[in-house]
Amino acid sequence: MSKKLMYPALSVLAAAALALTGCAPSASTPSPSASTAVATPTSASAALSVSQPWVKAAPSGMTGGFGVIKNTSGADITVTGASTPAARMVELHETVAGSTGAMQMKEKDGGFVIPAGGELTLEPGANHLMLMGLAEPITAGTEVAFTLVLADGGTFEFSAVAKDFSGANENYVEEGGAGMSHGQPSGTTGSATSSAPTPTSK
């Protein structure tokens, strides 16, 4: 997918509206699961562990999943995909400077590489799991099950608790869509840095 996504500074409402109309409810529902990670044997996933997993509570549309994933093996491990019963789709997103200099969210080409003996930090404003098309509201305290798909075909499962979080406004629109004014050079107005209203929170 070559879709480029960007932070809306001003059009959270518009993005939320897009998200609402664009998402068919998924048939599956989140199931309660143990909060410990479950590794599939015979895969690189045995070398993975997760700490501080959490997901931003959201009423609908999109939201982000975060945590620190550690690789205790001597070889890099690549995450190529992710899924959750809580959302129709999960993408692996990174934050990069776009051609205009503004920070943009986009799908990570080639997936996330967790270096040998290192860790991958998923956090607001940086690499994260992007949940799109929430099946139902994710309310604070809910446990959300995630499955990471690894390059070797193995999977790594973990559960993340939903937190009431005002940041990580991971609502996206496609570049050039919905009359975004986000791409203007920084510093010309204060609007790009002012905190966007979050009418979609809670």
Asked whether position 29 contacts another protein by CB under 8 A, the answer is: no
Asked whether position 57 contacts another protein by CB under 8 A, the answer is: yes
Asked whether position 54 contacts another protein by CB under 8 A, the answer is: yes
Please state the closest distance from residue 167 (CB atom) to another protein, in A. Answer: 6
The tokens for 169 are 């406004």
- Which strand (E) or helix (H) includes residue 130? strand 128-134
Instruction: Count residues near another protein (CB under 8 A).
Output: 15
Measured distance CA(177)–CA(174) in Å, rounded: 5
Measured distance CA(63)–CA(82) in Å, rounded: 14
Asked whether position 158 contacts another protein by CB under 8 A, the answer is: no
> Among residue numbers 123 through 152, which ones bind another protein (CB under 8 A)?
139-142
Measured distance CA(21)–CA(136) in Å, rounded: 14
Asked whether position 161 contacts another protein by CB under 8 A, the answer is: yes
Q: Which residue in 201, 198, 192 sits closest to 9, CA to CA?
A: 192
Binding site for another protein (CB under 8 A): 52, 54, 56-57, 66, 139-142, 161, 163-165, 167, 202
